[in-house]
Amino acid sequence: MFNIKKWLIYFWRIIKVFAPIFLVLLALWAAAQGLALVEALYKVKESPSLGWEYLPPVWKLAVHSGWTHELPLRMVLVGNSLLVLVTLYILRSLSGDFVRGVYGLKASSEGRSFLWRRLFGVPSFKPYLMLKEGKRTADDNDPLVRVGGPCNLVIHADSAAVLEKAGKLTRVVKVKNGRGFAALDNFERVWDVVDLRPYRWVYDVSAMSKDGIPVNCQADVTFQIDDGGQEPTEDNPFPATDEAIFKAASRKWMREAERSEDDRMFDWARRAIIGMTEGSLRGILAAYLLDQFLGPDEMNRAHYRSQIRNRLEAELRQSFPDIGAKLIKVELGDIKVEDKIVQQQIEAWQSLWKRWAREREAEGEAERLRYVEAAKAQAQADMIVAITQAFQSLTEAGAIIPSQLVLLRMFEVLKRSSYDPQTGMLFLPAEVLKTWKLVQDIALGKQALPGAKESE
């Protein structure tokens, strides 16, 4: 967008820089011409016959041509102006080469462009640097990256930056109130860009169990820059505090110089996983025996894995704020043994353990059934004895015992002898139960015998 105020400031700065130069050169030229004229007039007065030779060339030209002194003055001004322009061009080229050499730019034109912006400012929005997806869109050799402002920044909602000037971190810039623009001051440049989007990192951690067995566990960690409790909005979908952004950008680790560039520097995300998650999980796994998370009992394994995950989550929630991050979620994969030979030994041990467990379970079930059957037999014997004693007492008393009562008592004994108190079921075939029901109904007079005719 065209801004008349910026353009007026831009031209005013140009005038302020070049006008004094032209005025000084004009004054020097006028003084030189005046001194030359005074000297010539003095020579002419002393030697009239030779005085013509002492006149300045400009004045000789004016006398022979009949011109007035205005034309030579204009010619001298043009000549001196060209001299000034040539001098300024040479100075500009030398200054551009100097800036290119100091900052390691590709071409002298980039150095001259920076000097022009530094002296006169930026009249329009260009040049600008864009921050998107946690990165700069320009490469590291861009003059806006190596030298800095004056220039403009375009910041997407998923990114934030920490700026630096003269070796000192100055401020944090991000999207505020839906606006993602910022202006860089002279020599102010982007020191680091922070990605505000959530990270999900799946990382294999190698550790040692308490009994000295090498194991491997996969940690699935989701985290992002701390938002300080702010809720996402349409204008700012990834809120983050300035303090958390500054911590994430400034708390880096630099390792040995002989390592590769990618492996040498640990930014906040790599510190969260390699520096914190890996170290914490190794320490936690070292406190457990191999049997506790690789035993054949699935429920036991799930219990210990849940316990390890909870301990890891608690430690990460405590350590992540040191680098400006916030833990969202952590999950653990299966814990496996790294050595194939040891893994085969464990699988064989698990197979033997499972077979032994099944054998013990079968023996226990057989023992249970034996006790159940013995208890049922004893109960049936006690019941038969009780019924017999009851009938015997009735017989001794001379009472008449109906046959139906005897039959029903026998049915009751059979029913109780076939009853399982644990399951509440009768262990008799369906046809037996059907016949049993029919005989019981006949004994009670609820149904006639098959084939019998009803009395009229």
Q: Over the stretch 296-320, which tens digit does the pLDDT of each residue have?
A: 677 888 888 899 999 999 999 999 9
- List 223's β-bridge partners, or say none: 199, 327
Q: Cα angle at 71 between 67 and 74, to 5 degrees?
A: 165
Name the region of 398 (left: φ>0; alpha: ψ -120 to 50; beta: rest).
left
pLDDT at 424 over 70: no
Distance CA 187, CA 70 (A): 47
pTM: 0.61
| Summary mean pLDDT of the chain | 76
- Asked, as a colleague might, if the bond just before 150 is cis with ω within 30 of 0, I would say yes
CB 17, CB 121: distance < 8 Å: no
pLDDT at 420 over 60: no
Distance CA 189, CA 184 (A): 7
Structure tokens at 392: 């015997």
pLDDT at 38 over 60: yes
Dihedral through CA 420, CA 421, CA 424, CA 425, nearest 10? 10
Q: How confident is the model at residue 12 (pLDDT cuts 50, 70, 90)?
A: confident
Distance CA 39, CA 54 (A): 8
54 DSSP 8-state letter: G
Which of 71-80, 225-234, 436-445 is least confident?
A: 71-80
Instruction: For residue range 182-216, list pLDDT tens digits in order.
Output: 989 988 999 999 999 999 999 999 998 888 888 88
Distance CA 310, CA 314 (A): 6
Distance CA 229, CA 227 (A): 5
Instruction: For residue range 230-276, list pLDDT tens digits in order.
Output: 988 888 899 999 999 999 999 888 877 777 766 778 889 999 998 89
Domain ranges for the chain, please list them. 4-112, 125-195, 200-338
Instruction: For residue range 146-169, list pLDDT tens digits in order.
Output: 888 888 999 999 999 999 998 899
Residue entry with tokens 């017989």: 395
- Asked, as a colleague might, if the bond just before 198 is cis with ω within 30 of 0, I would say no
Fold for 200-338, please state it. Answer: Tetrahydropterin Synthase; Chain A (3.30.479)
- Residue type for 195, please? D
pLDDT at 378 over 60: yes
Dihedral through CA 325, CA 326, CA 331, CA 337, nearest 10? 30
Q: How confident is the model at residue 64 (pLDDT cuts 50, 70, 90)?
A: very low
Name the region of 156 (left: φ>0; alpha: ψ -120 to 50; beta: rest).
beta
Mean pLDDT of 336-340: 69
Q: Which helix (H) or strand (E) covers residue 135, if one does?
A: strand 135-136
Pairing of strands 151-155, 128-132: parallel
Distance CA 42, CA 48 (A): 10
Q: Please, which residues have CB within 8 angstroms of residue 132's CB and are 6 or more apart in sequence?
A: 156, 158, 159
